[in-house]
Amino acid sequence: MAKVKLNPIVESVRGGVGDLVFRKLNGDTVLSGKPDFTNVEATPEQEAHRARFKQAVAYGRMVLADSDAREDYDEAAQVKGKSAFALMVADFMHAPSIDEVDVSEYGGLANQFIYIRTSDDFTVEEVSVRILDNGGTELEGGEADFDSATNRWVYEGQTNLTLGTTIQIEVTVTDRPGSTTVTGQSHNI
C-alpha cells in the first residue's frame, strides 16, 4: 500500500482507476490494489445484509422521486452536510430505538399517563401502546401523542383496569421507512 501526496490543485481523489483504488485512511490518501472477491463466498448474514441494502437503495430512489417526501431529507442533508440520498439509505437501515418507558404515573386507571422516549437517526413517525393481561389478551391500546415540550411520546390510559394485577405494556415505535422496534415490560397496578 502506497501513500499518495496530492498536488494542491487536486484536493482529493477517491475511487478506482484500472486495478488501482484511491481511498482515505486516517486522513491520508492511500493507493492500493483492487480487491479480488472472485473466489469468496458470502455468508448468509452477508447475503441478508446485501438484500436489506438493496431495499434501502430502492427506498431512497422512491423518496427521491416524491418531492413532498424528499423535502424533509433535503433540509436535514443541508444541516448535516450529507447527501439526502445517504440520509434516506441510513434511515432505512437503522430501526428506531426505545430509550425509556416511564410508567411512574400510570396505575391502571383512565387518564393516567405512560411516557415514552425514543430516538432515530432521522425521525420517529408513530408510537403505539398495547396493554395486555398476563395471558396476552389486549385490555386496551392506541397511539401515543408527541409532546414537543418534553420531547417524549405520551399515552393516556383509556380504561380502569383491575387493580392489584400485573399487566404487560408493549410499545411499538415506527420510523419513516416503516422500520419498527418493539419492547415490553411488566407493571404491577
The residues, any chain, with a CB within 8 Å of residue 24's CB and separated by 6 or more, are 12, 14, 30
Spatial separation of the C-alpha atoms in residues 16 and 28, rounded to whole Å:
16
Answer yes or no: is pLDDT of 116 > 60: yes
**C-alpha R_g of the chain:** 24
Q: What is the pLDDT of residues 14-38, one digit of tens each?
A: 677 778 888 777 777 787 888 888 8
pLDDT at 16: 75
Q: Quick one: which of 179, 76, 168 has its CA closest to 118?
A: 179
pLDDT at 5: 64
Cα distance from N-terminal residue to C-terminal residue, the chain: 64
Average pLDDT, rounded, for the chain: 90
pLDDT at 166: 93
- Choose between 8 and 167: higher pLDDT: 167
pLDDT at 150: 93
Structural domains for the chain:
2-33 (no CATH), 44-93 (no CATH), 97-188 (2.60.40.1220)
pLDDT at 31: 79
Q: Which residue has the cell 396476552?
A: 136
C-alpha cell at 139: 385490555
pTM: 0.76
10 Å CB burial of residue 168 (0-12, 13-18, 19+) is: middle
Q: What is the pLDDT of residues 60-115, one digit of tens each?
A: 999 999 988 899 999 999 998 889 999 999 999 999 999 999 999 999 999 999 99
pLDDT at 6: 60
Give strand ranges (E) for the chain: 2-4, 15-17, 20-25, 28-33, 97-102, 113-119, 124-132, 138-143, 145-147, 152-156, 166-175, 180-188
pLDDT at 19: 82
Spatial separation of the C-alpha atoms in residues 168 and 177, rounded to whole Å:
27
pLDDT at 68: 87
